[in-house]
Amino acid sequence: MGGYVPYSRITAILFRMVLKVWAYSGLVLVFCFLLYYMYGGIFAILLLFFAVTGILYQVQDSLLYYPELPSHSRVYVPIPPTFNLPYENVITRSADGVQIHIQKIDNENVPTIVFFHGNAGNMGHRLQNCVGLYHNLHCNILLVEYRGYGLSEGSPSEEGLYLDAKTAIDYLYTRSDINHSEIIVFGRSLGGAVAIDVAVREEYANKIWCLVVENTFTSIPDMAKLLLGWRMLQYFPLIFYKNKFLSNHKVKQLRVPTLFISGMADGLVPPRMMSELHNRCNSIRKQLLQIPSGTHNETWQIQGYYHSLAVFLQSCRLKNIRQEYDIKVGSEKVQGDSLWNNVQTI
**What is the crossing angle of helices 305-325 and 127-137, to 10°?**
50
Ranges 217-221, 229-233, 245-249: which has the least confidence: 229-233
Active site residue 135: no
- pTM for this model (two decimals): 0.83
Q: Which of these is catalytic: 117, 247, 266, 283?
A: 266
Confidence at 235, pLDDT banded by 50, 70, 90: confident
**What is the crossing angle of helices 158-172 and 190-200, to 10°?**
60
Taking the CB of residue 150, how many other CB atoms lie within 10 A of it?
25
Per cent of the chain over pLDDT 90 is: 68
Active site residue 61: no
Per cent of the chain over pLDDT 70 is: 78
Contact 287, 339 (CB under 8 A): yes
Taking the CB of residue 260, how many other CB atoms lie within 10 A of it?
26
State yes or no: pLDDT of 331 exceeds 50. Answer: no
| Segment 179-204 mean pLDDT | 97
Active site residue 266: yes
Q: What is the pLDDT of residues 272-303, one digit of tens each?
A: 999 999 999 999 999 999 999 999 999 999 99
Record: fold of 80-345: Rossmann fold (3.40.50)
State yes or no: pLDDT of 21 exceeds 80. Answer: no
Q: Which of these is catalytic: 61, 125, 296, 337?
A: 296
Contact 254, 197 (CB under 8 A): no
Determine phi and psi for 91, rounding to 5 degrees: -120, 125
State yes or no: pLDDT of 162 exceeds 60. Answer: yes
| Segment 225-250 mean pLDDT | 86
State yes or no: pLDDT of 73 exceeds 90. Answer: yes
Taking the CB of residue 32, how many other CB atoms lie within 10 A of it?
10
Domain borders along the chain are: 1-64, 80-345
Q: What is the pLDDT of residue 292?
A: 96
Task: Give the chain's radius of gyration (CA, Å).
Answer: 29
Instruction: Name which residue leads in pLDDT, 327 or 231.
Output: 231
Contact 116, 169 (CB under 8 A): no
- Residues 284 and 254: their CA atoms lie apart, in Å, by 9
State yes or no: pLDDT of 137 exceeds 60. Answer: yes
Instruction: Name which residue leads in pLDDT, 56 or 77.
Output: 77
Q: What is the pLDDT of residue 51?
A: 66
Q: Which of these is catalytic: 189, 219, 283, 308?
A: 189
Torsion 287-291-294-298 (CA) sign: negative
Q: How many residues does the chain have?
A: 346
